[in-house]
Each structure stands twice: as structure tokens, then as C-alpha cells.
Amino acid sequence: MALTREQMAQRVARELQDGYYVNLGIGIPTLVANYVPAGIDVMLQSENGLLGMGEFPTEATVDADMINAGKQTVTARVGASIFDSATSFAMIRGGHVDLTVLGAFEVDVRGNIASWMIPGKLVKGMGGAMDLVAGAENIIVVMTHASKDGESKLLPACTLPLTGAGCIRKVLTDLAWLEIIDGAFVLRERAPGVSIEEIRAKTAGKLVVPEDVVEMTF
Amino acid sequence: MAGLDKRVYSYEQALAGLADGMTVLAGGFGLCGIPENLIAHIRTLGVRGLTVVSNNCGVDGFGLGVLLEDRQIRKMVASYVGENALFERQLLSGELEVELTPQGTLAEKLRAGGAGIPAFYTATGYGTPVAEGKEVREFNGRHYVLEQAITGDFAIVKGWKADHFGNVIYRHTAQNFNPLAASAGRITVVEVEEIVEPGELPPSQIHTPGIFVDRVIQGHFEKRIEKRTLKPNAHPAAQA
């Protein structure tokens, strides 16, 4: 079975380490915050200028001046700090964020990512995504393995305009956990009950299947 | 408004000198920390052909979105737009030009503009459409794109508290692009919730020192929330 959105978030959360500063993108990446393993403390960075994003507010604590990068009302946790947008992106561009998790339309075997623009459709903008992919060392792209029409999103070369060039090393899809190494997707883990054949069929870019591919458990 | 006393008492005074074709830098992220009254007054003034630099362009009927209604904006420099239908229509019809700029690059362009740095290199956008036509240089084996600073004829800024010297502090995440815009305006106008007595703001806690600020006005704010998101089960009944 392909992973659910929640399982994808759970799998990504296993990559968290105690003391990490983490930026979570909109969508499935946001759900990762719900699965931080016990005994681990991480600080969530929101690029509009908040380090230490807390939970959503109550009716009593909701505040128009406290939002996250998705423009949702939030709270600040104990230990949080708030700063201007240039300082926020100094953290990102300067490589101070330990892990960035974001979505994408496509990734390719050279670590290119396309996530912001579909020619012919209205382009709303890249927001902070280009800064995040260019600035972070440790990025996990989270997306479905193939489109609804069955078209692979793991490609020999991205077809859409790029968000960043050569910056992606790790990809979690609903079918697999993969690393990008030397111009190929290396399969590390497969979703429970998903065969290597299915992953191979849905991966358009070069796929390397080592001996020791693990089946994920939840 | 005299000497170091930056206070003005009307929005006419606050925006005196704003004219057609000028570049306006606006603080705010989404609808958070936007100079909503200054924007509304630009609408009243009816100036046209503006270039507006702001992370976003408001929503239909609020924030910078109101400047679209009479087509006062000619060009928008932003990282993310399209929360408003009018924006989309004017963009598709070619009435409005948009320069999409990565959020961190936009912040740094303003910071650099305010700091007298004409351009800077950043890895952001290398290999993407953003880098097209721009100089690329390699440092330590990595490619960087030359991005130029932004300054404006006016900066419009929303603060929380200011004193008459123009020292400003911001509240929570309403800070965002405001101090950056404040530094990069030839004329910087700050509207705040409260103008406090001199000496009330601790000098070490000032976000925008008064040297960057030309005019300060106290206003009343709606502070509209774009995406009101509450904790599950946090409805009023559960609070009681």
C-alpha cells in the first residue's frame, strides 16, 4: 500500500534529531510536527520570522500579529525568538537550519527540483522555496511518486522550470525512501507491501536497487 | 514635524510628496504587519503608475489589494502573489507587470538598499528562471547570482510603538519586512498603534532606530487575519 499523508509525515519525522532547527513547508511537511519522536526536542523555523513555532492558538490566544509562513495564526513556544525577514533568511541561506522538508512537482537524478511554476498556468511565486533549497544542506523532498495520471515525478531531468539546481539528496514519496547519488535514485526503503517492480515502473530516472532495501514499518 | 520630532497628525502629511510613477516599499507578510491606513490613503490620493515592492499584494478589498481597484500599481515586485482575483485578472490582461523575487532575496535586496550596498551574490535562484540575464560568479566551487539592491521613493511601514524620535518597535511576527523597508526608503513613513513618551522605549530594544524614519503617525488598525487557524477542540465551548 502506498503511504498515507500521515505515514509520510511519520517517516520523515524519524529523520529528526534532538536539537535540530527545522523548516517545514506547506502541506504534508507541516504534518511532520505532529510526529516528533518522544524525547527529542526540535525548534521549528517559520521563514516569515519565527524560530520556535508553537501550536495553533485558542480562541482566547489568537493574535493577528502571530502567524507562520503559511499565514496561519500560531503561537510561539518557550525558547522562541522573532526577527525580521532578512535575519530569517540569513539563518536559511547561511546554512544554519539543520533540516528542510518541502514538497515538489518533480525532482531529477542530478538533484534538481521543480516546485513553483507550471508554464501556461498562473504563477503565484516561489515564496521562500528557492532560498530554502539553495541554503540548506539537508533537504527532504516529500511528494507522490507519480502524478494522478501515472506520470513519474522522479525524472532523468526536470521538465518544469527549476526551483534549485543540484540541491536535493533525499526524497520520500508515497512509495519509497530514496537518496540521489551520482546521477541516480538509490532505493533505500519501500512502503509496506509496495514491490520493487512497482517502484521501478514508476521511476523514470535511473534507479539503483541495492541488496538491502528495507520495508518500512509503522 | 520639526527637527528630531517626526510626528505628523494626518495621513495627508504622512504621505505628502508621493507622486505618480514613484516606487513604494511596503512592509508586511500576507496581511500581518501591513501599513493598512497608509495604503488606504494612497488609494484616496489616487496616485498612479506606482512600482510597489512588498512580499505579497494583499487580498481583494484589503491591504495592497485596494490599490489594484483603480489600477494604481503598474509594477509589483513580490515573492508570492495571487491571493486576490483582481491581481490575477490584471496580470493576465497585461495591465500589471510582476517581478517575482525569492523571499530571502527580496529581504536582502531591501537590507542592502538601506545599507548602501548596490548588489550582492546569492546562491538562491541559480539555474532557475530567476537568474536569467544576471551575472553569475563562482566562489569556492559554488555558483552565485548577482542581485541588485532595492531602494524606494517612499517606504510605508507598520510598527507597534514609536516615540517622536522615530524609534520603532514591532510586535511579534508583524515585524517581518517592516524594518527592511524602513531602512530603504528615501522618505520612510511609519504608522504605529501607539506613540509613546520619549524614554519609554528601552534603547537596546529598538528594532528600527529613528535615523531611518522621517515621519511617524499614530493610527487605528483593523489587523485582519488571513487564515485564522485554531487548535483542534479550541472552540469557545471547550474554553469555558
pLDDT for position B232: 86
Contact B155, B25 (CB under 8 A): yes
pLDDT for position A177: 98
Residues of B in contact with A85 (CB under 8 A): 29, 55, 103-104, 106-107, 176-177, 180
Q: Is A40 inside any structural domain? A: no
Would you call B129 and A65 a contact, using CB atoms and an 8 Å cutoff? Answer: no
Give the domain extent around A185.
5-31+95-215
Distance, in Å, from the CA atom of A137 to the CA atom of B134, rounded to the nearest integer, reads 24
Residue of A48, A57, A161 lying closest to B231 (CB–CB): A57
A189 is catalytic: no
Neighbour tally for B93: CB within 10 Å: 8
Quote the number of domains for chain A.
1
pLDDT for position B238: 41
Residues of A in contact with B206 (CB under 8 A): none
Q: Taking 80 as the threshold, does the pLDDT of residue B1 lie above it?
A: no
Distance, in Å, from the CA atom of A122 to the CA atom of A119, rounded to the nearest integer, reads 8
With bands split at pLDDT 50, 70 and 90, how would you rate the model's confidence at B92? Answer: confident
Would you call B125 and A134 a contact, using CB atoms and an 8 Å cutoff? Answer: yes
pLDDT for position B240: 35
Provide the CB-side half-sphere exposure for B95 (13 A, CA): 13
Q: Is A115 inside any structural domain? A: yes
Q: Is B224 inside any structural domain? A: no
Q: Taking 80 as the threshold, does the pLDDT of residue B233 lie above it?
A: no
Q: Is A85 inside any structural domain? A: no
Mean of pLDDT over chain B = 95
Q: Is A48 inside any structural domain? A: no
Q: Is A49 inside any structural domain? A: no
Distance, in Å, from the CA atom of B168 to the CA atom of B157, rounded to the nearest integer, reads 10
Quote the number of domains for chain B.
1
Distance, in Å, from the CA atom of A29 to the CA atom of B100, rounded to the nearest integer, reads 24
Distance, in Å, from the CA atom of A217 to the CA atom of B15, rounded to the nearest integer, reads 62
Would you call B227 and A82 a contact, using CB atoms and an 8 Å cutoff? Answer: no
CATH, residue B124: 3.40.1080.10
Q: Is A142 inside any structural domain? A: yes
Q: Taking 70 as the threshold, does the pLDDT of residue B231 lie above it?
A: yes
Q: Which of A67, A116, A159 to mutate to test the interface with B (most CBs of B within 10 A)?
A: A67
Residues of B in contact with A49 (CB under 8 A): 29, 173, 175-176
Give the domain extent around B195.
11-218
In 3D space, the residue among A70, A162, A56 whose CA is nearest the CA of residue A110 turns out to be A162
Q: Which of A130, A137, A167 to mutate to test the interface with B (most CBs of B within 10 A)?
A: A130
Residue B227, SS3 per DSSP: strand
Torsion of CA A10, A75, B157, B12, to 10 degrees: 130
CATH, residue A199: 3.40.1080.10
Q: Taking 60 as the threshold, does the pLDDT of residue B235 lie above it?
A: no
Nearest chain B residue to A65 by CA: give it. B174
**Per-residue model confidence as pLDDT tens digits over B9-53:** 999 999 999 999 999 999 999 999 999 999 999 999 999 999 999
Mean of pLDDT over chain A = 96
- From residue B153, alpha-carbon distances to A110, B1, B110, B220 in Å are 43, 19, 13, 25
Q: Is B196 inside any structural domain? A: yes
**Per-residue model confidence as pLDDT tens digits over A112-170:** 999 999 988 888 899 999 999 999 889 999 999 999 999 999 999 999 999 999 999 99
In this prediction, what percent of chain B has a pLDDT beyond 90? 90
The single residue of A6, A15, A47, A198 carrying the catalytic annotation is: A47
Q: Is B239 inside any structural domain? A: no
Q: Taking 50 as the threshold, does the pLDDT of residue A66 lie above it?
A: yes
Give ipTM to 2 decimals: 0.96
Contact B82, A122 (CB under 8 A): yes
Give DSSP secondary structure letters for B84-117: SHHHHHHHHTTSSEEEE--HHHHHHHHHHHHHT-
Q: Is A87 inside any structural domain? A: no
Predicted model pTM: 0.96
Q: Is A196 inside any structural domain? A: yes
